[in-house]
Amino acid sequence: MNNIARANIDIWYNYMKDQSDEGLMNQLADNAVFHSPVVHSPQEGKAMVFAYLNAAEGAFANSGFQYVDEIIGSDGRKAMLEFTCKIDGIHINGIDIIHWDEAGKIVNFKVLIRPMKAMNKIWEKMAIMLEKNKG
């Protein structure tokens, strides 16, 4: 495996373990973009991407969230990380597609979730967390 990819993924995994706001902010490029499974338009800029990923952290709390597989791009700057968890009795299966720049900063983060009832549950939980984090 590409050493660049391993380093970038390990930094992401460390954030997922520690869930440090500072750790997340340090990983994001200023021009980062987030693609949500439930919001049509891309969310652009470090502050917006932070808000969505931070809300996701809250939405997935106590869900048994875990990564179960990873696929690394040949250039070492992108990865697909498959995850699974359960919220309110609904099994959620998803993929985080992450792209890093040359400096190891996240520039693009896309989330895909299945099945539809899981996506609806995440939409519900994310809306609550985004509203809570506003105040």
Strand order in the sheet with 66-72: 43-44, 28-35, 106-114, 90-100, 78-87, 66-72
% of the chain exceeding 90 in pLDDT: 70
Both tokens of residue 33? 């973009």
Predicted TM-score of the model (pTM): 0.91
% of the chain exceeding 70 in pLDDT: 98
Q: How far is CA 19 from CA 50, 70, 116, 118, in A?
A: 12, 20, 27, 23
Q: How far is CA 83 from CA 37, 48, 95, 114, 120, in A?
A: 14, 23, 6, 11, 17
Mean pLDDT value across the chain: 92
pLDDT bin (cut points 50, 70, 90) of residue 135 is: low
pLDDT bin (cut points 50, 70, 90) of residue 1 is: low
> How high is the pLDDT of residue 80?
97
Handedness of CA 111, 112, 114, 120 (dihedral sign): positive
* Of the candidates 123, 121, 116, 117, the residue with the CA atom closest to the CA atom of residue 40: 123
Instruction: Give the three-class secondary structure for 37.
Output: coil
- Contact between 65 and 83 under an 8 Å Cβ cutoff? The reply is yes
Instruction: Give the three-class secondary structure for 21.
Output: helix
pLDDT bin (cut points 50, 70, 90) of residue 104 is: very high
Kindly tell me if the per-residue pLDDT of 93 is higher than 80.
Answer: yes
Kindly tell me if the per-residue pLDDT of 40 is higher than 80.
Answer: yes
